[in-house]
């Protein structure tokens, strides 16, 4: 079966309709990218690999002299897609450079930390806006609205969570003397509160 990381997500899109490569690239940017980021460069080679494996078919079409490859899923492709759902999923990973900067904030100044946090806020506001636009636009696949809404619920909540955290963090660091000295900020109490949340215990325990 497919060896590359993008094979199944791409089969997922091909299962919705046929696409030209350029259209695929655009659709990946619009929807898949939120939870399956990949370089556009790959999107021109990967469908060809699917064709080699019999999971997709390609036709070449022309606009004047400009060629375009259009891909369509095969029955074997649909079957592979269905089986993929059964397989254990890879652990979730998140690449968050700004949070790394927060984690190493004591290497810089409070002003720098403020900027980083503001950047985090701005990004989540922008992503929430983008999600909003997608939710309000005419749905490209109306019959799939229910699964789309199910997934977007999580996407939106994650973005809201990041935004709320950034607002909270902004208020908290105001109490710090410096990035190296939190002054009277209740570090220990917050640590204990987080620990309790991570280990829910019965009242008597």
Span 130-169, contacts to a second copy by CB under 8 A = 131-132, 135-136, 143-154, 156-158, 160-162, 164-165, 168-169
Among 10, 11, 21, 55, binds DNA (CB under 7 A): 21
Q: Between 65 and 143, whose beta carbon lies closer to a second copy?
A: 143
| Number of chain positions touching DNA (CB under 7 A) | 23
Q: Among a second copy, DNA, none, what does residue 50 contact (CB within 5–8 Å per kind)?
A: none
Binding-site size, a second copy (CB under 8 A): 88
DSSP state of 71: E
Binding mask 169-188 for DNA (x = CB under 7 A): --------------------
Q: Interface residues for DNA in 24-53 (CB under 7 A)? A: 37-39, 41-42, 44-46
Q: Give the integer Cα–Cα distance in Å for 141 and 27.
A: 12
Tokens 């917050």 correspond to what residue?
Answer: 190
- Token pair, residue 25, equals 């690239």
Sign of the CA dihedral with 124 first, then 128, 129, and 133 last: positive
Residues 54 and 74: beta-carbon distance below 8 Å: yes
Q: Which of 126, 119, 129, 127 is nearest to 166 (CA)?
A: 119
Q: Site residues for a second copy, window 57-116 (CB under 8 A)?
A: 78, 81-82, 84-86, 88-108, 112-113, 115-116
Q: Which of the residues 67 through 126 are near DNA (CB under 7 A)?
A: 67-69
Q: Which option in a second copy, DNA, none does residue 54 bind, with CB closer than 5 to 8 A by kind?
A: none
Binding residues among 172-191 for a second copy as defined by CB under 8 A:
172-173, 176, 179-180, 182, 185, 187-188, 190-191
C-alpha–C-alpha distance, residues 42 and 59, integer Å: 19
Q: Are 5 and 35 in contact (CB under 8 A)?
A: no
Residue with tokens 């290497």: 107
Binding residues for a second copy restricted to 29-48, rule: CB under 8 A:
31-32, 34-37
CB-based contacts of 83, cutoff 8 Å, min separation 6: none
Residues in the chain: 205
Instruction: Count CB neighbours of 3 within 10 A.
Output: 7
Whichever of 20 and 158 has its CB closer to a second copy, that residue is 158
Which residues contact DNA (rule: CB under 7 A)? Answer: 3-6, 20-23, 37-39, 41-42, 44-46, 63-69
């Amino acid at each position: 079966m497919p060896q590359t990381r993008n094979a199944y997500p791409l089969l997922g899109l091909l299962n919705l309709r046929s696409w030209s490569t350029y259209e695929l690239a655009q659709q990946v940017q619009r929807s898949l990218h939120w939870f399956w980021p990949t370089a556009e460069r790959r999107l021109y080679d990967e469908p060809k690999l699917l064709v080699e494996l019999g999971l997709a078919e390609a036709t070449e079409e022309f606009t004047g002299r400009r060629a375009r490859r259009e891909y369509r899923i095969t029955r074997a492709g649909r079957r592979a897609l269905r089986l993929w759902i059964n397989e254990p999923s890879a652990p979730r990973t998140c690449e968050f450079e700004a949070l790394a900067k927060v984690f190493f904030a004591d290497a810089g100044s409070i002003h720098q930390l403020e900027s980083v946090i503001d950047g985090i806020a701005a990004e989540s506001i922008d992503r929430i806006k983008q999600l909003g636009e997608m939710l309000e636009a005419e749905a490209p696949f109306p019959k799939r609205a229910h699964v789309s809404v199910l997934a977007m619920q999580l996407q939106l909540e994650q973005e809201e969570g990041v935004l709320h955290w950034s607002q909270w963090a902004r208020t908290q660091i105001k109490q710090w003397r410096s990035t190296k000295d939190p002054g009277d900020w209740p570090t220990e109490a917050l640590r204990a509160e987080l620990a309790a949340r991570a280990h829910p215990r019965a009242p008597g325990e």
